[in-house]
Copies of this chain bind each other. A is one copy, B any other.
Amino acid sequence: MPSSVLYHGADYNPEQWLDRPDILRRDIEMMRLAHVNVVSLGIFSWSMLEPEEGEFHFEWMEAIIDRLWAAGIRVDLATPSGARPAWMAYRYEEVRRVNADRTRQLYGMRHNHCYTSPVYREKVKIINQQLARRFGHHPAVMMWHLSNEYGGECHCPLCQRAFQEWLQRKYGTLDHLNRAWNTRFWSHTYTDFSQIESPAPHGEGAMHGLALDWRRFVSHQTIDFMKWERDCIREILPGAKVTVNMMYRFNFINYYDMAKEIDLASWDNYPTWHKPEETVESTALDTAMMHDLIYSLKRRPFWLMESTPSATNWQPVSKMKKPGVQLMSSLQAIAHGSDSVLYFQWRQSPGASEKFHGAVVAHDGRADNRVFVETCAVGRALEDLAAVAGTQKPRQAAIVMDWENKWALEEAQGPRNCGLGYWDEIMLHYAALARAGISIDFVNEDSDLSGYRLIVAPMLYMLREDFAAKLRAFVKGGGTLVFTYWGGVVNETDLCWLGDAPHGLVDVLGVRRAEIDGMFDVETRRCVAVTPDMPAVAHGSVLCEVAALEGAVPLMLYDEDYFAGAPSVTVNRYGEGRAYYLATRFEEDFYGPFYGQVCAGLLSSVWPGELPAGVLATRRDRYLFLQNTASSPVRVGGDTIDKYGTAVYLEEESGLRRIF
């Protein structure tokens, strides 16, 4: 992959059109019009490649790849495991998943194979290696697209056995497991590993440690399957580059772990722009956060592997991107670290489940279709910005977003079971920092914290001893920590830390948690500032903790309910650093001023000047991106940026030069 190319392309599913050579020819013509230089190929081709067990047909695919290569278009070649042929589902029952209710799925849909099944692994090995042999050395093939959107879980007997073995490896003895899960409560002591089954609606649903380990196992087993696919390819093609396409706020896989096993992170981005309840800026911050998370997984440029140039077809309501949004959202990916913009799919299907999903070429096939015209503009922009490819983002602040913590806090039953909103909490911190032009990474409890000035650890319910020590050292060494309510509650097996809380950080934070009160959705608790740097009034929600001061300085106090007068925001000096504590969740407006104080003298915006409302700034090496999410033009630093417009600057010795 030459570093001076930004990739533009789409999922290409030509097997739907093999009887229409006119359309296949027209595809290449229109790809050229759209400045397409890569396609993902073969994702749903298994039935065409192996129509009967052991009978392979690659000739049609070869013709397609040759034709693409002749047109200068590269191929990200998929392993076809995301959708298996019907014959296999009927011949080998074990490849079909079993739901949590222990019902085996019938044939249908996709992304629903058992990750444990030896039969499925064997069938995948055969087809993957056939593909590798046939196409691995084709000059067009630049990368391997492992399966498609890995996810889900299977509760079949094979997976149960694998889970039990995984537990045995992890805990060694049943006694260790029983202690780790506190199974003596409700008399649930296991006396044989075979007694442990995955959570089920008609079985175990209240053993938090089990639920947490099941989530870990599912993630582990999915990654294990992915590694199997990867290694099948590499057995034939040592050093083959691989990627997987990840998903928005996806719950089933710990992507930090998965990213370690691939060469390039990529993801599929399907926001609903123009939802009535949300501004364009809010939607943009939502996608920005995911871009930054995916970038953080490897701290390297990633790919935007799928997006729609217009609308989806699977949401309750699918809205068209308004004029300009296709370009803005595509360049947003680049601004946040992507080296590509790809779509699903190149041409709208004539039938079946996704026939109304937006595509570069619509059913009308017209080149004057607005969606196609705007896609061509994206293609041109990516060529203009090719020099951005491969550049890095600066290291300033990091937010702790930890999948294991998320699983633990969501599986537990506690003071509020109608929704804790882990992602919502993270977004409040992210949005305030992003609007301030701070470059944000995401880390988990395995991460190295060095190089950051600010660590934000929202709702870090599951706090491991080693990560508490890292935070402690980070603050001691001069870092600034923001820690919150519902943090430091349990250990890595969801056992509550006994004694004072937040565990291991009472002296760092200078506060001790005394009580936690759950809030109904309609409830808030007024807080007032003790210092002029804080908002005069703000309102706690979700959980209101009552903290006892153990040395910290209160910044805001509760002003109502029985805990009026107790601190809701505090700061503490510890070692060379500072540690803030937020005892509750505030409304969005609070976090701007709060982080204004936190960052003062600590971190500054990547954009040297003022940022008007709605303008978001990011940086990759010497390239600065400004995007105007507002619905009218704005003036920034002497330039005008249109509604939904993007400006790109190159930092030179003489100052900033606008290059787009």
A contact residues vs B (CB 8 Å cutoff): 13, 15-16, 44-48, 51-52, 80, 83-87, 89-90, 99, 101-110, 180-192, 194-195, 197, 199-200, 202-209, 275-276, 310-311, 313-320, 322-323, 348-356, 363-365, 369-371, 412-418, 490, 493-501, 514-520, 522-523, 561-562
Taking a contact as CB atoms under 8 Å apart, the answer to whether A318 and B184 are in contact is no
- A13's nearest neighbour on chain B, judged by CB, is B185
Tell me whether A493 and B351 are in contact in the complex, defined as CB-CB below 8 angstroms, given that A83-B187, A195-B90, A520-B275 are known contacts. Answer: yes
Using Cβ atoms and an 8 Å threshold, which residues of chain B touch A276?
520, 522-523
Report the separation of the CA atoms of residues A298 and B317 in the bound assembly, to the nearest whole angstrom: 39
Chain B nearest Cβ from A382, distance in angstroms: 24
Q: Looking at the assembled complex, report how far the CB atom of A66 sits from the nearest CB atom of chain B, in whole angstroms.
A: 20
Contact A415 B185 (CB under 8 A): no
Closest residue to A42 on the B side, CB-wise?
A: B187
A355 x B496 contact (CB < 8 A): yes
Q: Which of B317, B351, B369 contacts A518 (CB under 8 A)?
A: B317
Contact A317 B13 (CB under 8 A): no
Contacts of A107 in B (CB 8 A): 195, 197, 203-204
**In the complex, which residues of chain B have a beta carbon less than 8 angstroms from the beta carbon of A45?**
187
Evaluate contact between B47 and A205: CB separation under 8 angstroms: no
* Chain B: minimal CB distance from A357 (Å): 8
User: Are B518 and A350 in touch, CB under 8 angstroms?
Assistant: no
Which residue on B lies nearest to A370, using beta carbons? B515
* Residues of chain B lying within 8 A (CB to CB) of residue A197: 106-108
- Could you tell me the distance between the alpha carbons of A184 and B42 in the complex, rounded to whole angstroms? 11
Cα(A601)–Cα(B353), bound, Å: 45
* Contact call B353/A417, Cβ cutoff below 8 A: no
Q: B352, A186: Cβ atoms under 8 Å?
A: yes
B185 touches A44 (CB 8 A): yes
> Is B16 a contact partner of A185 (Cβ separation < 8 A)?
yes
Is the beta-carbon distance between A191 and B495 smaller than 8 angstroms? no
CB < 8 Å neighbour of A108 from B108, B194, B203, B208: B203
A358 to B413, CA, bound (A): 12
Smallest Cβ distance from A373 to chain B, in angstroms? 12
A-B interface, 10 closest residue pairs, ranked by CB to CB distance from nearest = A108-B204, A106-B203, A182-B351, A206-B353, A316-B418, A356-B414, A47-B189, A83-B187, A185-B352, A47-B187
Known: A16-B182, A181-B351, A206-B352. 6 other contacts (CB 8 A): A13-B185, A83-B188, A103-B202, A276-B522, A313-B417, A317-B415
A-B contact pairs, 25 of them (CB 8 A): A13-B185, A48-B189, A83-B186, A86-B188, A86-B189, A102-B106, A106-B200, A107-B203, A108-B203, A108-B207, A182-B350, A182-B352, A183-B352, A185-B355, A186-B352, A186-B353, A311-B518, A314-B413, A314-B417, A317-B518, A317-B519, A320-B515, A350-B495, A351-B496, A363-B501
Q: Report whether B322 and A562 are in contact in the complex, using a CB–CB cutoff of 8 Å.
A: yes
**Is B352 in contact with A202, judged by CB distance below 8 angstroms?**
no
- Among A275, A350, A519, max chain B CB count under 10 A is at A350
Q: Are B354 and A185 in contact (CB under 8 A)?
A: yes
Query: Shortest distance in angstroms between A586's beta carbon and chain B's nearest beta carbon?
Result: 18
Contact B522 A86, beta carbon cutoff 8 Å: no
Contacts of A108 in B (CB 8 A): 188, 197, 199-200, 203-207
B187 near A353 with CB under 8 A, answer no
Do the beta carbons of A105 and B317 come within 8 Å of each other? no
Can you name the residue of chain B whose Cβ is closest to the Cβ of A191? B87
Given A185-B44, A187-B44, A370-B514, the answer on whether A317 and B352 have CB atoms closer than 8 Å is no
Nearest opposing residue in chain B for A197, CB measure: B106
CB distance from A370 to the nearest CB of B (A): 7
Contacts of A205 in B (CB 8 A): 108-109
For residue A77, give the distance in angstroms from its CB to the closest CB of chain B: 15
Contact partners of A192 in chain B: CB under 8 A: 86-87, 90
Cβ contact within 8 Å between A85 and B318: no
Which residues from chain B contact A364 at a C-beta distance below 8 Å? 498-501
The residue in chain B whose Cβ has the minimal distance to the Cβ of A90 is B195
Query: Contacts A51-B189, A106-B197, A311-B518; is A496 near B350 (CB within 8 Å)?
Result: yes
| Across-interface contacts of A356 in B (CB, < 8 A) | 412-415
